[in-house]
Amino acid sequence: MGIHVIKMPDLGEGIAEVEVVAWHVQPGDTVKEDQVLADVMTDKATVEIPSPVAGTITSLGGAIGQSLAVGAELIRLEVEGAGNLSATKARQEPVQSAAPTAPAEEVAEPQLAALAHAGAPPQAVAAAPAPSVSKPVSNPASNPASSRATNPAARPAPQSAVPMRAEGDKPLAPPAVRQRAWDLGVELQFVSGSGPAGRITHADLDAHVEGRRNGAGGGSDERYAEQHGEHATQVIGLRRKIAEKMQEAKRNIPHFTYVEEVDVTELEALRIQLNARYGAERGKLTLLPLLMRAVVLALRSYPMMSARYDDEHNLLTTYDAAHIGIAAQTDNGLMVPVVRHAESRDPWSSAAEIARLAEAARSGRATRDELTGSTITITSLGALGGIVTTPVINRPEVAIVGVNRIVDRPVIRDGAMVARKMMNLSSSFDHRVIDGMVAAQFVQAIRGYLEFPATLFVE
């Protein structure tokens, strides 16, 4: 019998380290050749690591959430034959315990949940710094989303509340008591009555108010009971990568956000007509592929928007191709699959590719190539788009176009007030390389194509 060490392979494209996000085996398990051992996360994609040999697992190389450098030991197996590690070296090297635990680290409490992503790659999302919890998360290797609750004995427990009346049963109280309860902000539904037939008296109201001041449960409403639980979740895998990219983007890029309203009444009418005529054979169109076409046409006049900026070498690279990233929300977080060469696609081809990439991202099957290489990004929250957003740029890109929801609003046209379908575009730009005037002109060009949709199909 021998020892075979599997090291973290080089996944290409300059990746120096990965993060362990899942173990599919444990020490003592017997594995076959090509069986998946672990999932690791690169800067965007999750990659499965298979076993090149058959054998029995003796140790794991790290805990879930731990980063491993390329070439670092990932796993050890006991195999038939000599293995790839000599017996002398195997005795000299310490073997990690079967159940490694992650180093104790302070875990910050989440204070703000984004996603909705305001735009960004994403949907994404900036959060305020949170106070740290000094107690480390226990054994994240076995439970990557571990959470803990404060020992209830450490805090005084809220008193039990008086049972509410049955639904539909109105509290009995004279007008003077009702008026006084209103002035005090007390709901009589939660006040016990000592009078005939449960009638509430002034003394009952006084007792309820006094009990509430003293924290007694006799008159408290359980809907407003104090809560003292605390829960800490280790941020690992894709969620950690999203956090790192958001932090890098906000730290390094001076964002300039420009918002413009667009009348999409004619665009929506055209979309409905196209779907009625061609939807059965070519697929249904949403707003997104039409917006992509408008962006592609606007890029012809403003090619500096389809670019990537290397701030370490002060190098701005512009691209003739329009590789458009589409921010997509998944169960694990925001991902940005890329529609490559959008300039060569008609709206139906773009719609089909968007659907394919979105499904791949949500199911976790998106490849690294499908998640990298974008030159400009579009982000949309659909019906939740709000009025205005401030999208975060997908670094190292220099521009991101955000779509807000479509609403019917009154608009003055030819001196008359009419209802029109209005939508805001909230777009952010890297102010180091994109001037405000140029950014505004780019958005106005997109607006022109959307408000006169025939121009989307006229060269």
CA 372 to chain centre: 17
Question: Which of 61-70, 93-102, 280-289 holds the top average pLDDT?
Answer: 280-289
The span from the CA of 100 to the CA of 77, in Å, is 16
Taking residues 267-285, report their average pLDDT: 95
The span from the CA of 408 to the CA of 420, in Å, is 5
- Residue 54 CB partners (closer than 8 Å, separation 6+): 30, 31, 32, 33, 79, 80
Percent of the chain with pLDDT over 90: 51
pLDDT computed for residue 211 by the predictor: 77
Q: Which two tokens stand for residue 421?
A: 């379908």
- Residue 9 CB partners (closer than 8 Å, separation 6+): 49, 70
pLDDT computed for residue 170 by the predictor: 83
Q: What is the pLDDT of residues 108-138, one digit of tens each?
A: 333 333 333 334 444 333 333 444 443 444 4
Run of H or E including 182: helix 175-184
Q: Which residues pair with 73 in a beta bridge?
A: 7
With H, G, I as helix, E, B as strand and everything else as coil, classify residue 379: strand
Name residue 10's amino acid: D
Q: Which residues pair with 59 in a beta bridge?
A: 76
Provide the strand spans (E) within 107-226.
107-108, 132-133
Q: Which strand ranges, in their side-by-side order, compose the sheet holding 30-31? A: 2-7, 73-79, 55-60, 30-31
Number of other CB atoms surrounding residue 21 within 10 Å: 22
Q: Which of the residue ranges 70-74, 104-108, 335-339, 371-375 would you say has the lowest mean pLDDT?
A: 104-108
CATH number for the segment(s) 175-219: 4.10.320.10
Is pLDDT above 80 for 161? no
pLDDT computed for residue 236 by the predictor: 85
383 touches 112 (CB < 8 A): no
Q: Which CATH superfamily is 238-457 part of?
A: Chloramphenicol acetyltransferase-like domain (3.30.559.10)
Q: Is 204 a catalytic residue?
A: no
The span from the CA of 99 to the CA of 80, in Å, is 24
Q: Which two tokens stand for residue 87?
A: 């017996």
pLDDT computed for residue 220 by the predictor: 53
| 150 DSSP 8-state letter | -
Q: What is the pLDDT of residues 25-61, one digit of tens each?
A: 999 999 999 999 998 887 767 888 999 999 999 999 9
CA–CA distance from 191 to each of 77, 165, 394 (Å)? Answer: 68, 9, 55
- 2-144, which class in CATH? mainly beta
Q: What residue ranges do the domains of the chain occupy?
A: 2-144, 175-219, 238-457
Q: If you average pLDDT over every residue of the chain, what do you get?
A: 82
Q: Is 169 a catalytic residue?
A: no
Q: What is the pLDDT of residues 247-270, one digit of tens each?
A: 999 999 999 999 999 999 999 999
Please count the CA atoms within 13 angstroms of the CA of 383 that sit on its side-chain side: 0
409 touches 422 (CB < 8 A): yes
pLDDT band at residue 221 under the 50/70/90 scheme = low
Provide the strand spans (E) within 414-456.
416-430
Number of other CB atoms surrounding residue 158 within 10 Å: 15
Q: Which two tokens stand for residue 74?
A: 């990932």
Of the candidates 314, 266, 316, which has an alpha carbon nearest to the alpha carbon of residue 290? Answer: 266
The whole-model pTM stands at: 0.64
pLDDT computed for residue 167 by the predictor: 62
pLDDT computed for residue 160 by the predictor: 39
pLDDT computed for residue 215 by the predictor: 60
Burial of 243 (0-12, 13-18, 19+ CB in 10 A): middle
- Residue 370 CB partners (closer than 8 Å, separation 6+): 337, 338, 357, 360, 361
pLDDT computed for residue 88 by the predictor: 45
Is pLDDT above 50 for 353? yes
DSSP string, 272-334: HHHHHHHHHHH----HHHHHHHHHHHHHHH-GGGSEEEETTTTEEEE-SS--EEE-EEETTEE
